[in-house]
Amino acid sequence: MLQPLTEHKTIVGQVEKVNLAGIFLPVTTPFDPVTGDIDTVAFRANLRCWFRSPIRGILIAGSTGESVFLDDDERSTLIEAARQIAPGEAVVIAGTGSESTHHTIRLTRRAANAGADVVLVSPPSYYKGAMTAAVLTRHFKTVADASPVPVVVYQVPTHLSTLNLPTDLIEELSRHPNITGIKDSRGRLELVGELIEHSDEDFQVMVGNGALLYAGLETGAVGGIVATGLIAPAGAVEISVAFQEGRSADAARIQERIAPVHQQIVSGMGVPGVKAALDLLGLRGGIPRPPLGPISGRRIDEIREILTSAELLAATDA
């Protein structure tokens, strides 16, 4: 049973800040092609491949992970499986946003119990007209008060069914001791700059657009949660490393090479395109969960060309 919120508000002062600098991958969720259940064997296999690159951590049950199609038990199962594979220093973030504050808190506590270090909370948007700044502020603060782990606000890509969170709302939330950052997936660099300028000094802004990773770091973001990194993990990490080491030309060159992966596959084709790209690269992509359908054969050829141009797939494989 979900315990009263007042019993958990004191936890805020006990939660340690988590450093979110670096590259996080919003991992996909493989499904068994016969049963349609989550495929934890394939999930673990993918994680082993991704963790060969020095990524900072992963996000489970984000948009790329088909979060809206996962039930509560499946989310916990994925987090537990990830904890078995992830290196000790890796940070596991779990998406726990839901339409009600009550359910969001339930998901958040379950995620923490399953091993998540941080939770990513998207805004409730079904009753969009009622989601005023005051309502959203109360929602996020109530979740953060009840959460046993730090909370990151998720500005979902605005082409999806979501809300555009105003900067002054994030500015207020950034002062909450258990709201540690935001993932901004709007793909607008000027808004990233606004968030950095107006939020609390300790608030960590992360970009969610793989084509703007280098520019976001230059603007002051601490890192990114980028689906481009699922397809080009070494490149995404090297952008961050090169930036930190002052090798701006190298970072810019890699960004230019892999930007089309975001623009044409991640953004242009969505989850079906990302999963098809993973299949071409030897990982376990598979089909999305219905009602999403797989990518067409013609588009698979297009993905192959994009990967080849980005030097992620050898031309002889095409």
Rounded average pLDDT over 122-143:
96
Position 5 scores a pLDDT of 33
> Does 128 participate in catalysis according to the annotation?
no
Rounded average pLDDT over 7-16:
46
> Has residue 287 been placed in a domain?
no
Band of pLDDT at residue 174, cut at 50, 70 and 90: very high
> Has residue 209 been placed in a domain?
yes
Residue 116 lies in domain: 5-247
> Has residue 78 been placed in a domain?
yes
The domain that holds 102 is classified in CATH as 3.20.20.70
The fraction of the chain above a pLDDT of 90, given in percent, is 91
Rounded average pLDDT over 279-299:
96
| Choice among 155-159, 206-210, 242-246, 284-288 with the minimum mean pLDDT | 155-159
Rounded average pLDDT over 231-258:
97
Position 14 scores a pLDDT of 54
The single residue of 9, 141, 183, 275 carrying the catalytic annotation is: 183
> Has residue 75 been placed in a domain?
yes
Domain count, the chain: 1
> Has residue 291 been placed in a domain?
no
> Has residue 310 been placed in a domain?
no
Band of pLDDT at residue 317, cut at 50, 70 and 90: very low
Contacts of 199 (CB under 8 A, 6+ apart): 170, 171, 174, 182, 205
Kindly report, residue by residue over 184-239, the tens digit of the pLDDT.
999 999 999 999 999 999 999 999 999 999 999 999 999 999 999 999 999 999 99
Kindly report, residue by residue over 42-89, the tens digit of the pLDDT.
999 999 999 999 999 999 999 999 999 999 999 999 999 999 999 999
Chain mean pLDDT for the chain? 93
> Has residue 260 been placed in a domain?
no
Whether the pLDDT of residue 6 is over 90: the answer is no
Rounded average pLDDT over 158-184:
94
> Has residue 15 been placed in a domain?
yes
Whether the pLDDT of residue 247 is over 60: the answer is yes
Rounded average pLDDT over 164-185:
97
Whether the pLDDT of residue 111 is over 60: the answer is yes
Distance, CA of 21 to CA of 14 (rounded, Å): 22
Global pTM? Answer: 0.93
Whether the pLDDT of residue 7 is over 90: the answer is no
Q: Which residues of 231-263 are buried (b: 16+ CB within 10 A; e: fewer)?
A: bbbebbbbbbbbbeeeeeebbbebbebbbbbbb
